[in-house]
């Protein structure tokens, strides 16, 4: 029996960072995001060697281990080992089966599309199918969060796991005690189409270490820095404004809120922007962009631009000459899924 799964990557539209501790516990966080047709994939089957085989296909790395000797140390297979240990120890009663796990993603780590968390969701979804664990979306997302943030102690928030599990346009609420509410939005078809035509996704070619940015942001909140805290409050409210703009189909307002959110985001930590990002932002505005932001924690990875669809070709040409890559992207309404072969 072979199990395959996939989970969609996401674009953080507004409120990103308010899902990160300690802000979300102290003040509650609001995030607006949407999943796109870029995915993390996992394949799970019985190991032909009787060992635990971990294939990180993007890195071209293979690890073969005795199931009883698996640990959570860093490396290309860390996420796979973390998921395996969590499921085996907490959901399989300590049983450690000999499996072959193969995984890859449409986006590199540090892309700003939630690639690491989405990979964990894809892996948990595959285990859910393989062992008939009957986990729902909330449970898969929470388990993925626990693996990444608690078991592996990797810095970050909660939105990525829930976006990957649920899919589509979602307004999310984050509170103390791991309480999360996902509000799926029913976006009219013409709004969906217009926003897709208006959005340009650009990979800078530079991946960034989101953990360092998130650590600085969290430290600023813990230390009570007024400017950072006020910026986070603005980001939270802009997620509400973004939701209203989407539901009403007010895409001019959508662009205003995105730009305002990006300006607030830059105030939450010094490493969120840099000269390269500033230059790309100026180039985009000179070629028809109405708003811009970096997806994810900041510092590099993917950037999003909103423009009048009639200006899209001009903007794409300008960005294509700046050394990065423009990605053709569409939204997807579906969250993580799995299927059985044989």
- Does some domain include residue 339? no
**CATH number for the domain that contains residue 100:** 3.30.230.10
17 and 144 housed in the same domain: yes
Q: Which of 342, 341, 335, 340 is nearest to 8 (CA)?
A: 335
Q: Are residues 104 and 223 in the same domain?
A: no
Range of the domain at 168: 2-186
| Bridging pattern class, strands 302-307 and 325-327 | unpaired
Which of 186, 214, 229 is a domain's end point? Answer: 186
Would 249 be classed as within a structural domain? yes
Q: Is residue 341 part of a domain?
A: no
**Interatomic CA distance for residues 276 and 111, integer angstroms:** 15
| pLDDT, tens only, 231-262 | 889 999 999 999 999 999 999 999 999 999 88
Cβ 59 vs Cβ 28: under 8 Å:
no
Please tell me whether residues 179 and 295 are part of one structural domain. Answer: no
**74-93 pLDDT, tens digit each:** 998 999 999 999 999 999 99
Question: Contact at 8 Å (CB) between 239 and 12?
Answer: no
Backbone angles phi, psi at 161, to 5 degrees: -65, -40
- Domain boundary pick from 186, 212, 240: 186
pLDDT of residue 294: 87
Parallel, antiparallel or unpaired: strands 52-56 and 99-105: parallel
61 and 131 assigned to the same domain: yes
Residues 147 and 237 in one domain: no
Q: Is residue 337 part of a domain?
A: no
Which residues fall within 8 angstroms of residue 219, CB to CB, at 6 or more apart? Answer: none
Q: Which CATH number goes with the domain that contains 234?
A: 3.30.70.890
Question: Does residue 147 share a domain with residue 29?
Answer: yes
35 and 182 together in one domain: yes
Q: Is 66 within the bounds of a domain?
A: yes
Q: Is residue 207 assigned to a domain?
A: yes
Token pair recorded at residue 304: 């999003």
- Asked whether residue 241 falls in the same domain as residue 304, the answer is yes
Whole-number Å distance between alpha carbons of 94 and 112? 35
Q: Are residues 152 and 208 in the same domain?
A: no
122 and 111 assigned to the same domain:
yes
**Residues 181 and 193 both lie in one domain:** no
d(CA 297, CA 214): 7
Catalytic residue flag (residue 160): yes
Tell me the per-residue pLDDT of 118-173, one tens digit each, with 9 for 90 and over.
999 999 999 999 999 999 999 999 999 999 999 999 988 999 999 999 999 999 99
Does the residue 340 lie in any domain?
no
Rounded to whole angstroms, the Cα distance separating 303 from 300 reads 8
In this predicted model, which residue has the larger pLDDT, 264 or 67? 67
**In sequence order, which residues have a C-beta less than 8 Å from that of residue 223 and are 6 or more positions away?**
none
Between 276 and 308, where is the model more confident? 308
Residue 211: what pLDDT?
56
Note the pLDDT of residue 6.
98
Same domain, 108 and 219: no
Look at residues 155, 186, 217 and tell me which one is the last residue of a structural domain. 186
Instruction: Using the structure block, give the residue that is written with the tokens 């000269």.
Output: 275
Q: What is the number of structural domains in the chain?
A: 2
Q: Cβ-count burial of 120 within 10 angstroms (0-12 exposed, 13-18 middle, 19+ buried)? A: buried
pLDDT at site 299: 61
Which of 19, 160, 215, 308 is flagged as catalytic?
A: 160
- Tell me the mean pLDDT in the region 185-205: 95
Range ranked top by mean pLDDT from 97-111, 126-140, 273-287, 318-332:
126-140
- Compare 270 and 41 and report the one with higher pLDDT: 41
Q: Tell me whether residue 252 is in a domain.
A: yes
């Amino acid at each position: 029996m072979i199990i395959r799964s996939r989970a969609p990557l996401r674009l953080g539209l507004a409120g990103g960072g308010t899902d990160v501790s300690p802000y979300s516990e102290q003040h509650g966080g609001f995030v607006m995001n949407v999943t796109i047709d870029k995915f993390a994939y996992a394949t799970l089957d019985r190991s032909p060697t009787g060992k635990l085989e971990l294939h990180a296909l993007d890195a071209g790395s293979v690890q073969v281990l005795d199931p009883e000797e698996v640990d959570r140390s860093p490396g290309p297979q860390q996420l796979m080992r973390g998921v395996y240990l969590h499921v085996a120890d907490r959901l399989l009663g300590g049983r450690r089966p000999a499996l072959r796990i193969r995984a890859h993603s449409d986006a590199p780590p540090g892309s700003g599309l939630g690639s690491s968390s989405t990979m964990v969701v894809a892996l948990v979804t595959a285990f859910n199918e393989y062992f008939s664990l009957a986990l729902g979306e909330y449970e898969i997302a929470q388990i993925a969060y626990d693996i990444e943030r608690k078991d592996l102690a990797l810095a970050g928030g909660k939105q990525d796991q829930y976006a990957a599990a649920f899919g589509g346009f979602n307004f999310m609420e984050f509170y103390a005690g791991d309480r999360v509410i996902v509000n799926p939005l029913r976006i009219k078809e013409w709004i969906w189409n217009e926003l897709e035509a208006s959005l340009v996704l650009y990979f800078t070619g530079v991946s960034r270490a989101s953990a360092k940015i998130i650590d600085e942001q969290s430290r600023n909140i813990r230390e009570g820095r007024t400017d950072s805290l006020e910026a986070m409050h603005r980001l939270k409210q802009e997620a509400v404004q973004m939701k209203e703009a989407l539901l009403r189909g007010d895409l001019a307002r959508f662009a205003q809120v995105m730009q305002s959110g990006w300006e607030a985001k830059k105030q939450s930590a010094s490493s969120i922007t840099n000269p390269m990002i500033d230059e790309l932002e100026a180039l985009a505005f000179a070629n028809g962009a109405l708003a811009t932001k970096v997806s994810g924690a900041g510092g590099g990875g993917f950037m999003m631009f909103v423009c009048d669809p009639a200006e899209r070709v001009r903007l794409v040409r300008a960005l294509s000459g700046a050394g990065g890559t423009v990605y053709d992207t569409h939204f997807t309404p579906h969250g993580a899924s799995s299927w059985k072969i044989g």
